[in-house]
Amino acid sequence: MRLKDKRALVTGGARGRRRALALGLGGEGAGGSGAIGRAIALGLAGEGADVAVNYRRSRGDAESAVREIEEMGRRAVSVQGSTASRADVDRFVAEAHGFLGGLDILVNNAGILKRTPLLEISEEEWDAILDVNLKGYFLVGQAVGLRMVEDRTPGAIVNVSSAGQAAAGPNLTHYCVSKAGVGMLTKQMALELAPHRIRVNAIAPGLIETDMNRADIAQDDFREGRLARIPLRRIGTPDDVVGAVVYLASNDEARLVTGASLFVDAGQMV
């Protein structure tokens, strides 16, 4: 119960549906955002936190996550809205803050991915990826940061990035650029929020198996090609990410950690 009675907001915490298949160094894989977000929301609750689960379209899945959290004896609420919209963000952050009575933890997790060759990326597709993956983290981080400052809450913000923030991947220009931006955004937020006792860190997962990329991982050629670039020769699950988030969210265990990116990638970056 390392997060007992803490109040958390997790964006993109409903289910694994929103990412297209990620290959190479692109990150968690299809549906990684929702699958990882849901695992994080349940993991925080398992450590004693009350949780607001943000979703965009998957209301049923968000409410299912809420029920699971409530079964653990914790309070939970689903809050709908696009992280790329200032109006939506202000509304659902206010809803989460009001229901929980404050916010101690934010996990920026909502994200999208589409694999497209550099020369074929349209302006619309570029904007869509950057709006959710980078602008969304800024908007939600700023909105929650303001609440924490107003409440004088010594908070913790964890940005879910990707191994793609540090290494290029084929046909993933917009995705990798957005995640590289998350890495620097994390440092900037950490620097400017430190005087308010708010720590900001990122986790950068490697290949994480979810429902939507499981069939590809089951193919021998695909699996061996990926494992050949992973020193530990292990492909993760959403639960493998939870421990890193819990650690970074804990003001007791990670009180000296801010502005860092923790790679959860089985040595992929080595």
3-state secondary structure 253-270: CCCCCCCCEEEECCCCCC
Q: Are strands 50-55 and 7-10 parallel, antiparallel or unpaired?
A: parallel
55 is known as an active-site residue: no
Give me the long-range contacts of 87-91 (CB less than 8 A, separation at least 24): 89/136, 89/139, 89/140, 89/143, 90/143
Q: What is the pLDDT of residue 148?
A: 98
List the alpha helices (DSSP H) in 113-219: 123-130, 136-151, 173-193, 214-217
Decide which of 112 and 88 is more confident. 88
Q: Is the pLDDT of residue 195 over 70?
A: yes
Q: Residue 260: CB partners within 8 Å, gap ≥ 6?
A: 186, 201, 202, 248
Q: What gap in Å lies between CA 49 and CA 116, rounded to an integer?
A: 39
Decide which of 96 and 32 is more confident. 96
Q: What gap in Å lies between CA 232 and CA 239, rounded to an integer?
A: 17
Q: Mean of the pLDDT values across residues 47-52?
A: 98
Q: Is the pLDDT of residue 269 over 60?
A: yes
Decide which of 35 and 184 is more confident. 184
Q: What is the pLDDT of residue 222?
A: 84
> Given 55, 137, 175, 247, which residue is catalytic?
175
Mean pLDDT of the chain: 91
pLDDT tier for residue 155 given thresholds of 50, 70 and 90: very high
Strand partners for 107: 10, 158
Terminal CA-to-CA distance of the chain, rounded, Å?
33
Q: What is the pLDDT of residue 21?
A: 28
What would the two tokens of residue 1 be? 């119960």
Q: What is the pLDDT of residue 24?
A: 30
Q: Which of 34-48, 164-178, 202-216, 241-255 has the lowest mean pLDDT?
A: 202-216
Q: What gap in Å lies between CA 82 and CA 217, rounded to an integer?
A: 30
Residue at 161: amino acid letter: S
pLDDT tier for residue 78 given thresholds of 50, 70 and 90: very high
Q: Mean of the pLDDT values across residues 41-64?
A: 96
Q: What is the pLDDT of residue 212?
A: 59
Q: Is the pLDDT of residue 25 over 50?
A: no
Q: What gap in Å lies between CA 175 and CA 262, rounded to an integer?
A: 19
Q: Mean of the pLDDT values across residues 13-22?
A: 47
Decide which of 215 and 255 is more confident. 255
Q: What is the pLDDT of residue 239?
A: 93
